[in-house]
Each structure stands twice: as structure tokens, then as C-alpha cells.
Amino acid sequence: MRYLRLMSICLCVCVFVPLQTTEARDKSGVLKASQLIGMKVEGTDGKKLGDVKDLVLDPDDGSINYAVLDFGGIAGIGDKYFAVPWPTLNITPDKKKLLLDVTKRELKDAPGFDKNNWPDLNDQQQVVTIYEFYEIPMPEGRGTSRVGK
């Protein structure tokens, strides 16, 4: 009987101690790419706009330039991707979804692309088009071609 009780205690310790450690790490306040990719994005009307499929990073400083949003289509067919400038997104306090200040109707008119044919998101005209659509100023150093870098 003592042996069974001892084994039960050991099993509980082995199961619950790692869970507490993981929980502590998740409350650190940082956002991991693995948390962002797949996160739902909602519009100003409270309707789901899509999910984050990828993040586009600046290779020079490591900052996030865009979250790539998957919108439309059915079961992955006919999807359209949108490069959404990172500053346009706001994370909810519970860190479960991102908010974007557009409606579904407006997003349909946003500059998008086919998931198998990505544009050059560093091309000056592409950057200007995207930032103008979302009506935010371009960060310094953006909108200039990096040819030769």
C-alpha cells in the first residue's frame, strides 16, 4: 500500500512540475513566432478576416515588416494572401488574436497576392502600395530598393 502511494506521488510530481514550468514561460510577456503564426485576425467589425500564415522579417535588423494574412477561399483553395504592415496590427490583451482596422469588405480591395506567387515585398512600388492602402506612414528606410545590398 505504501509503495502504491509513493508511486502515485512520484507520478503526480513528474506530470505537474513540467506543466508549471511551461506555464511560467508562457507568462513572460514575449511573443513567439509560433504563437503569431496561425493566430486569428479580426477586423473592426468584429468579423474574422483570416489567419497569420507567415511573418516577413527585415534581414538587416530582425524587425517584423509584415504579417502575411490568409483570407478567402474554401479549404485552402482560392485563398489570397495579404502582406499587412506590422504596425497596423494590435494584439488583444489575452494574446489570442490580432486586430486590424479594416472590414472584410475593405480587405477584399487590399493589395494581395497568390500564395504560390509572392511579390517582392521589398520593391519600392509594392511597399508604397501596401502602406498607402492601410493609410499609415512608411517607416524610415522603407520604400527604397535594396538592390546591391
pLDDT value for 78: 61
pLDDT digits (tens, 9 = 90+) for 23-68: 344 556 677 888 899 999 999 888 999 999 999 999 888 899 999 9
Residue 142: all three cell numbers together: 522603407
Q: Which residues of 83-101 are buried (b: 16+ CB within 10 A; e: fewer)?
A: bbbbebbeeeeeeebbbbe
Confidence of residue 138 (pLDDT cuts 50, 70, 90): confident
Average pLDDT score, the chain: 79
Supply 12's cell numbers: 503526480
Give the C-alpha separation, 90 to 99, whole Å.
5
Q: What percent of the chain has pLDDT over 90?
A: 49
pTM of the model: 0.72
85-104 residue pLDDT tens:
999 999 999 889 999 999 98
Residue ranges and CATH numbers for the domains of the chain are 33-133 (2.30.30.240)
